[in-house]
Amino acid sequence: MKKQILLLVSLAISTLTFSQVAPSFGLRGGVSYSGMQGDAVNSLNSMIDFSQGMITTTNRTGFFGGVYATIPVDDMISVEPALYYSQKGYQLKGDLNIKGLGFLGANAKADLNLQYVDIPVLMKATISGLQLFLGPQVSYLMQGDLNTTAGVLGINLLNKKLNATSQFNRWDVGLTGGIGYQFTSGLNVMASYDYGMSKVDANKSLNSYNRSVKVGIGMAF
């Protein structure tokens, strides 16, 4: 994994070295809509018993934010390395039994909050403000929490947070790409799709992968 990080850093430094135009820097943040493809539920099977299979999974809404640099290669092409804090994960709803907490019942919900540092290095094409970008991304899991709630008739009976970090692979390598628009004022908007390619469970034995849509707004300086 260190090799992938060094490769991304080397690409950004090489582009900066050969660029004839000074890079610009900026801040960007927005909303993320994340889930997992594959055996997502089974990634928590050491913490949750699934009763009768009455479980549904839904995506999780979070946020991301951080800094980026734009390194021009020519009038249209640039390289954009970035560093973001990013929330990912998913939600479980249904008949759950959290080990050590007792039966929660059909109104239970488990919200998995995975906090990552995302490091994308994008190749970006800009045509009259319209931007298309694609590139690799390395992500590091800082913390994973499983927030469990349960209630009956609107009464909250349980609100518990469990540390689930050890259940997940700390590193994720993937691709990210999308579309954006750069205004002359420095303001920019973007929408991207993150396609994780590393198995997310700690043992790397389940076919479960991160997927995330990001919509953000930024300002270049």
- Report how far apart, in Å, the C-alpha atoms of 205 and of each of 102, 196, 199, 209 are: 28, 15, 7, 11
What is the CATH code of the structural domain delimited by 2-220? Answer: 2.40.160.20
Domains in the chain: boundaries = 2-220
Overall average pLDDT of the 126-137 stretch? 96
- How many Å apart are CA 68 and CA 97, to the nearest integer? 42
- How many Å apart are CA 95 and CA 65, to the nearest integer? 35
* Cβ(169)–Cβ(155) below 8 Å: no
Give the three-class secondary structure for 52: strand
pLDDT at residue 155 is higher than 70: no
pLDDT at residue 156 is higher than 70: no
**What's the pLDDT score for residue 13?**
54
**What's the pLDDT score for residue 129?**
95
**What's the pLDDT score for residue 199?**
93
Overall average pLDDT of the 102-111 stretch? 65
**What's the pLDDT score for residue 58?**
86
Please, which residues bridge with residue 151 across strands? Answer: 156
At CA 205, angle to CA 204 and CA 209, rounded to 5? 65
Give the three-class secondary structure for 153: coil
Mind listing the pLDDT tens digit for each residue in 28-54? 999 999 998 888 767 776 676 655 556
Closest CA to 145 of 162, 159, 158, 160: 162
Reported confidence tier of residue 76, pLDDT bands at 50, 70, 90: very high
* Cβ(197)–Cβ(207) below 8 Å: no
**What's the pLDDT score for residue 205?**
83
